[in-house]
Chain A
Amino acid sequence: MDFLQPTSWADALAVRAERSDAVPIAGGTDVMVDLNFDRRRPGALLDLGRVPELREWTVEDGTGGVGATGGVGGSTVRLGAGVPYSRIIDDLGARLPGLAMAARTVGSPQIRIRGTVGGNLGSASPAGDAHPPLLAAGAVVEVESAARGVRRIPAAEFFTGVKRNALEPDELIAAVLVPEAVGPQQFCKVGTRNAMVIAVSAFACALHPDRRAVGTGIGSAAPTPRRAPEAEEFLAGELESAGLWESRGDLPDGLARAFGERVAAAASPIDDVRGSAAYRRHSLAVMARRSVTWAWAEYQQDLRKAA
């Protein structure tokens, strides 16, 4: 097995184009597990850890436009695919709170120093911790090939099957474009241990008061990470019709619960060694109910702070 270690983005793309048998590695918290278990024997590892462009994050203002679901006029964080979780926690807790909360649940401190969102997207595991908040925030994945240049794929379209994504064989993930939070965001993850655990189920929500929308992301409860569109529309519609986006009044009784039930209905969970389908669905309903309650309380709190 060859170990390829380009030191620039251009070289990385060239190597990717040449070596279709290479598996990109951006932290290795999934790839190395697969190698250790002999689940794959790639002809080469393409280590992206030495590509400096991938290890930066920048803020782009809204005028640049980053795609259909980008924040309206808001700023977007362009998160290099190789930025480790530890830096997301340290640097981006205010701009990308949902992603930072998810990053905090990844593995152990050592794993968070190694693991990256780009690697998580590359693995495209339904249990990837970064995915639900990216879906809820309306993030866009920026991929690139030497031959055809840059493509931007909404996160909701990026996951195509169990551990499959929309990447072409000659493409690498360059960055994730995540709209900066303009409202509260939450992330919840159930595991059967209190640290260092893969999600049995996970849920992210984001309130987008700027466009009076609700974002959601479900993890570990379907073949891919996915949104709960009906739940999003239901809640946004209820908030709209009750004038709550402006009034920031209390949520009507039962609204959070009804939202949770719609989130659970959006999942297609399975029974496996980590948990039962029924429990996954149940836990999603609870997490969605609780997290939207917290998010709304924060939204109400923001007004009081502003007042």
Chain B
Amino acid sequence: MRGRSGHSGPSVSTDAGTRPATTATTTPGRIGDSPLRPDGTLKVTGEFAYASDLWHDDMVWGVTLRSPHPHARIRGIDITEALTVPGVTAVLTADDVPGENAFGLEHADQPVLAVEFVRYEGEPVALVAADHPETARRAAARIRVEYEVLPAVTDPRHAMDDDAPAVHRPGNLVRHLQLRRGDQSVTAPVVVSLDVEVGMQDQAFLGPESGLAVPAEDGGVDLYVATQWLHVDQRQMCLALGMPPEKVRLHLAGVGGAFGGREDLSVHVHASLLALRTGKPVKMSYSREESFFGHVHRHPAWLTYEFGAERDGTLVYARARVLLDGGAYASSTAAVVGNAGTLGLGPYRIPNVAVDAYGVFTNNPPCGAMRGFGCVQAAFAHEALMDELADAVGLDPVTVRQRNGMREGDRNITGQLIDSAAPVAELLQIVADLPLPPQRDADADLRALPGSVGNTTHGEGVVRGVGYAVTYKNIGFSEGFDDYSTARVRLEMTGGEAVATVHTAAAEVGQGLITVEQQICRTELGVERVVVHPKNTAVGSGGSTSASRQTYVTGGAVQAACVAVRDVVLARAAASLGREVSQLRLDGEKIVGASGEVLTGLAEVLGEDAVEETREYRHRPTHAIDPETGQGDAHVQFAFSAHRAVVDVDVELGLVKVVALDTAQDVGKAINPDAVVGQIHGGSAQGMGLALMEEIVVTDGHVRNPSFTDYLIPTILDMPPMQVKVLEYADPHAPYGVRGVGEPPTISSGPAVAAAVRAACGRPLRRVPIRPEHITGT
């Protein structure tokens, strides 16, 4: 264990203000610059304190006993033997949950600890605290749970059958989204259809679930945890712990990636229960194997699509049926169904539409949020079908997409007006015009070939293929959710230097939000030194770090708080200078006039005072869709991206080398251009991973590959260099014109890779991840 016993409390330094004060009139590190992220060097050198590094001198360790069965009745739990293990300080079961034994993002349907039934393999049943994690594990193995194994629903295609066992009462349907638009009886001269299946992807964040719960003197608890939304965790914890929010305080620990997998609770309530029981700080940290059971996954999907088109390729109608396996608990399945239904036909103009999207309960692992959130699965279907359409009407894949591509001013399939840029045709044209990679050399290094140093080909059987895909994704929370962020900004003189402190609860999960918050403060307040306060629940909610929303929504809150602070400062300056506020601005720690002349220093205006303001920011409201027709303004913003993949496929062995994966994306405004490109690189890799290798294999409700030995994510030898073209068509409704960045590349990269593999090997390949035996047909 890499202990950090030298300090008593967890903390993450986020003060990046290491540069000397400057007298320059333009503060560096503003919006549009790419200042280095404060956590970057620490992470690369292994010094960053992740949640798994949390340490408290007198802490004990908590472990979770989990169900080995996908579905069983609990006949009894005997903890007596576990309690006798020396070093054990607590053993808890459902009986020890003081509040309501339930949690869940949208519906509190999941027990903190199983009571009466277990509904998936890995469901938490009991907890142990001990002075050493190994002691706790050994004690957990001595808890006797008597299970009566029950028939399990493991094929979601039969979850709604009349004779299927009910995972929950009243039945196994989580949500059915029905969408109808236009003429339902319309026909078309060209009809193409297909069935697509998408496997279960994992977020595979590198930092497993970890947290440290510290009991407090007031009877409450302080939880340091890696998460995506402190306040939604707090709400659920309060319910389960039976405590008011002021006694349940959360602090963001170092997050090693999230991608949606930290939206649901993991160690939160468990560690807190153990801490409150033992009176000691309790650390819980999952192993990689447990992590595969400790968070939700991307929904596997079964999709049936049909397009009708004119002979020139213009779409006349689309019909789609999408089935998502939600697993044993609701998590965010309903919202994922919402996306798969309302966005599941892609960024195309389609006048007549019928979509039915279903999320169902099964006894498989619970599925919920993951980067791309319902759009990823659908994109594999609508993009494969666009290629079919191209073939059917004799167009190339780019032209058929451009011909049908959404444009600003269109209405999408829910009838919502696309009221800012929708550059589908342009994005496709950009990637189509980018230079193609050169043909492979006859004496190419093995690492440039499919199979790499596995030395499976020296060129034999290798065929090149090119594929295209385009997508659009909603940014922010949808369907009427009150989606807001809070920011508190303080400006003061410290040691002769102006310092802005920005405090939000918005989780930095590695995406670069801390840097964005600093850049906004520098831009709005004209000070260089910006301290980012540790993220916790002492300030209002920052909303979720998901839906590509933080730069937009928390960025908006930080901007609003900065403007409020600046208004106070400039009002004071105006009063003392005898000028109009409108003629003044803040820059380089100075108050400057309209023509840039320095009028006075910030130090003179602030004196000993600190100016602090807190603001909430809400994006434009969204609305529920009509339950019969699926029509409505469900989303706040749309982001568009396109990919072109070039692959070399060894068609005899079914091995793939992605040679190029180029992309164009509209980001509205790149607050931090380097971070934007980083998000696009990472998202593209994650999408490619689903296309070619990433799958949790579940058989009869059991996960067969809960390890990085057999759950494969792309390595540097799988990921090609990328050409990334970033467009900045400002969204007039968003702060600085930003458009969410993180998710679109994950959506369009995978279908482009799949299309390229299809083009190379000539097989339909209707399932992802595409496995070697799919390509070879063996």
Whether B652 contacts A38 by the Cβ 8 Å rule is: no
Whether B455 contacts A191 by the Cβ 8 Å rule is: no
Whether A194 contacts B657 by the Cβ 8 Å rule is: yes
Whether B451 contacts A190 by the Cβ 8 Å rule is: yes
One of A7-15, A55-63, A72-80, A272-280 at the interface: A272-280
One of B27-35, B173-181, B456-464 at the interface: B456-464
Closest Cβ–Cβ distance, residue B136 to chain A (whole Å): 13
Known: A196-B715, A273-B704. A37 touches B289 (CB 8 A): yes
Closest Cβ–Cβ distance, residue B706 to chain A (whole Å): 9
Set of chain B residues within 8 Å of A290, measured between Cβ atoms: 456-458, 460
Interface residue tally for chain B (C-beta within 8 Å): 40
Set of chain A residues within 8 Å of B288, measured between Cβ atoms: 36
Whether A273 contacts B710 by the Cβ 8 Å rule is: yes
Set of chain A residues within 8 Å of B704, measured between Cβ atoms: 273
- Contact mask for chain B residues 175-203; partner A; CB cutoff 8 A; 1 contact, 0 none: 00000000000000000000000000000
Set of chain B residues within 8 Å of A191, measured between Cβ atoms: 451, 454
One of A146-154, A155-163, A281-289 at the interface: A281-289
Known: A33-B709, A290-B460. A192 touches B772 (CB 8 A): yes
| Complex-state Cα separation, A278 to B697, whole angstroms | 19
Closest Cβ–Cβ distance, residue A37 to chain B (whole Å): 6
Closest Cβ–Cβ distance, residue A187 to chain B (whole Å): 6
Output the nearest chain A residue to B710 by Cβ-Cβ distance.
A273
Closest Cβ–Cβ distance, residue B445 to chain A (whole Å): 12
Closest Cβ–Cβ distance, residue B573 to chain A (whole Å): 58
Q: How many A-B residue pairs have CB under 8 A?
A: 102
A303 within 8 A of B: no
Interface residues of A in 24-63 (CB under 8 A from B): 33, 36-38
- Contact mask for chain B residues 630-662; partner A; CB cutoff 8 A; 1 contact, 0 none: 000000000000000000000011110100000
| Complex-state Cα separation, A286 to B652, whole angstroms | 7
Set of chain B residues within 8 Å of A105, measured between Cβ atoms: 453-455
B452 within 8 A of A: yes
Interface residues of B in 405-428 (CB under 8 A from A): none
| Complex-state Cα separation, A195 to B449, whole angstroms | 12
Known: A273-B704, A279-B773. A193 touches B653 (CB 8 A): no
Set of chain A residues within 8 Å of B450, measured between Cβ atoms: 194
| Complex-state Cα separation, A195 to B448, whole angstroms | 12
| Complex-state Cα separation, A196 to B456, whole angstroms | 15
B355 within 8 A of A: no
| Complex-state Cα separation, A233 to B707, whole angstroms | 41
Interface residues of B in 683-716 (CB under 8 A from A): 692-693, 697, 704-705, 707, 709-710, 712, 714-716
Set of chain A residues within 8 Å of B456, measured between Cβ atoms: 188-190, 286-287, 290
Set of chain A residues within 8 Å of B693, measured between Cβ atoms: 192-193
A197 within 8 A of B: yes
Output the nearest chain B residue to A106 by Cβ-Cβ distance.
B453
- Contact mask for chain A residues 195-210; partner B; CB cutoff 8 A; 1 contact, 0 none: 1111010000000000
- Contact mask for chain B residues 756-778; partner A; CB cutoff 8 A; 1 contact, 0 none: 00000000000000011100101
A186 within 8 A of B: yes
Interface residues of B in 423-471 (CB under 8 A from A): 447, 450-458, 460-461
Closest Cβ–Cβ distance, residue B407 to chain A (whole Å): 39
Whether A195 contacts B773 by the Cβ 8 Å rule is: no
- Contact mask for chain B residues 283-307; partner A; CB cutoff 8 A; 1 contact, 0 none: 0000111000000000000000000
B717 within 8 A of A: yes
Known: A37-B289, A194-B452, A290-B457. A279 touches B776 (CB 8 A): yes
Set of chain B residues within 8 Å of A248, measured between Cβ atoms: none
Partner of A194, one of B451, B461, B654, B707: B451
| Complex-state Cα separation, A101 to B714, whole angstroms | 22
A87 within 8 A of B: no
B137 within 8 A of A: yes
Closest Cβ–Cβ distance, residue A269 to chain B (whole Å): 11
B718 within 8 A of A: yes
Whether B709 contacts A279 by the Cβ 8 Å rule is: no
Whether B455 contacts A279 by the Cβ 8 Å rule is: no
Whether B451 contacts A278 by the Cβ 8 Å rule is: no
Whether B712 contacts A197 by the Cβ 8 Å rule is: yes
Closest Cβ–Cβ distance, residue B291 to chain A (whole Å): 12
Whether B715 contacts A195 by the Cβ 8 Å rule is: yes
A19 within 8 A of B: no
| Complex-state Cα separation, A283 to B712, whole angstroms | 20
Closest Cβ–Cβ distance, residue A35 to chain B (whole Å): 11
A294 within 8 A of B: yes
Set of chain B residues within 8 Å of A294, measured between Cβ atoms: 458
Output the nearest chain A residue to B460 by Cβ-Cβ distance.
A290
| Complex-state Cα separation, A189 to B446, whole angstroms | 12
Whether B718 contacts A194 by the Cβ 8 Å rule is: yes
Whether A279 contacts B654 by the Cβ 8 Å rule is: yes
A95 within 8 A of B: no
Set of chain B residues within 8 Å of A114, measured between Cβ atoms: none
Known: A38-B137, A200-B772, A276-B773. A189 touches B652 (CB 8 A): no
A164 within 8 A of B: no
Whether A273 contacts B653 by the Cβ 8 Å rule is: no
The residue among B456, B652, B655 with the most chain A CB atoms within 10 A of its own CB is: B456
| Complex-state Cα separation, A143 to B255, whole angstroms | 48
| Complex-state Cα separation, A194 to B717, whole angstroms | 6
| Complex-state Cα separation, A216 to B112, whole angstroms | 55
Closest Cβ–Cβ distance, residue A103 to chain B (whole Å): 10
Whether B707 contacts A190 by the Cβ 8 Å rule is: no
Whether B705 contacts A273 by the Cβ 8 Å rule is: yes
The residue among A104, A194, A275 with the most chain B CB atoms within 10 A of its own CB is: A194
Closest Cβ–Cβ distance, residue A254 to chain B (whole Å): 16
Whether B772 contacts A194 by the Cβ 8 Å rule is: no
Set of chain A residues within 8 Å of B653, measured between Cβ atoms: 190, 283, 286-287
| Complex-state Cα separation, A290 to B461, whole angstroms | 10
Set of chain A residues within 8 Å of B655, measured between Cβ atoms: 190, 192, 194
Output the nearest chain A residue to B446 by Cβ-Cβ distance.
A104
| Complex-state Cα separation, A282 to B650, whole angstroms | 13
| Complex-state Cα separation, A104 to B771, whole angstroms | 24
Output the nearest chain B residue to A102 by Cβ-Cβ distance.
B455
Output the nearest chain A residue to B770 by Cβ-Cβ distance.
A192
Known: A194-B717, A195-B716, A290-B460. A189 touches B455 (CB 8 A): yes
| Complex-state Cα separation, A290 to B458, whole angstroms | 9
Partner of A195, one of B697, B717, B771, B778: B717
Known: A190-B653, A282-B778. A195 touches B453 (CB 8 A): yes
| Complex-state Cα separation, A154 to B157, whole angstroms | 53
Set of chain A residues within 8 Å of B778, measured between Cβ atoms: 276, 278-279, 281-282
Whether A36 contacts B287 by the Cβ 8 Å rule is: yes
Closest Cβ–Cβ distance, residue B731 to chain A (whole Å): 38
| Complex-state Cα separation, A20 to B453, whole angstroms | 39
Partner of B773, one of A193, A194, A275: A275
Known: A36-B287, A279-B778. A189 touches B772 (CB 8 A): no
Set of chain A residues within 8 Å of B287, measured between Cβ atoms: 36-37
Output the nearest chain B residue to A186 by Cβ-Cβ distance.
B455
Interface residues of B in 723-778 (CB under 8 A from A): 771-773, 776, 778
Set of chain A residues within 8 Å of B710, measured between Cβ atoms: 198, 273-274
Closest 6 CB pairs of A and B: A279-B773, A194-B452, A195-B717, A189-B454, A282-B778, A194-B717
Report 30 cross-chain contacts, Cβ distance below 8 Å, ordered by A residue: A36-B287, A37-B289, A101-B453, A104-B453, A188-B455, A188-B456, A189-B451, A191-B451, A192-B655, A192-B692, A192-B712, A192-B772, A193-B718, A194-B452, A194-B454, A194-B717, A195-B453, A196-B715, A198-B709, A273-B697, A273-B705, A275-B771, A276-B778, A278-B778, A279-B654, A279-B772, A279-B776, A282-B773, A283-B653, A290-B456
Given A189-B456, A192-B772, 14 extra CB contacts under 8 A: A36-B287, A189-B455, A190-B456, A190-B772, A193-B714, A193-B715, A194-B450, A194-B451, A196-B715, A197-B454, A276-B773, A283-B653, A286-B461, A290-B457
Interface residues of B (CB under 8 A from A): 137, 287-289, 447, 450-458, 460-461, 652-655, 657, 692-693, 697, 704-705, 707, 709-710, 712, 714-718, 771-773, 776, 778
